[in-house]
Amino acid sequence: MSTENKVVKYTFSIGFSLTLLCAAAGIILSYLAPSFAQFWITLSVAVIIALPIVMLFILVLVYIKQKNYLFAFAAAAILLAVSIEVITGASQ
């Protein structure tokens, strides 16, 4: 497996495991102690939607380290486009 494949796989795996743990904890707590559930459920959703941006940051750093400037630029360009979309709320 190439370096970028490993980076993508492990970053996504850690992020998704965290999401799943928080979601499961939130769902269980919603039956046992509803006042504590909201925090974990919100955290699970926040982690999964922040994951693409974290991934892009890491990919930019990995490509710069490899001196692969074309793809570092590509990842940075997506990061910029994604940021514009989030800030302007364009998709709504």
Query: Footprint of another protein on this chain (CB under 8 A)?
Result: 1-2, 4-5, 8-9, 12-13, 15-16, 19-20, 22-24, 26-27, 30, 38, 41-42, 44-46, 48-53, 55-56, 59, 71, 74-75, 77-78, 81-82, 84-86, 89-92
Decide whether 1 or 33 has the Cβ nearer to another protein: 1
Least Cβ distance, residue 68 to another protein (angstroms): 9
Dist CA 72 CA 88 (whole Å): 24
41 in Cβ contact with 23 (< 8 Å): yes
Least Cβ distance, residue 59 to another protein (angstroms): 7
Which whole-number Å values give the CA distances from 17 to 33, 44, 64, 72, 84, in the listed order?
23, 10, 27, 27, 28
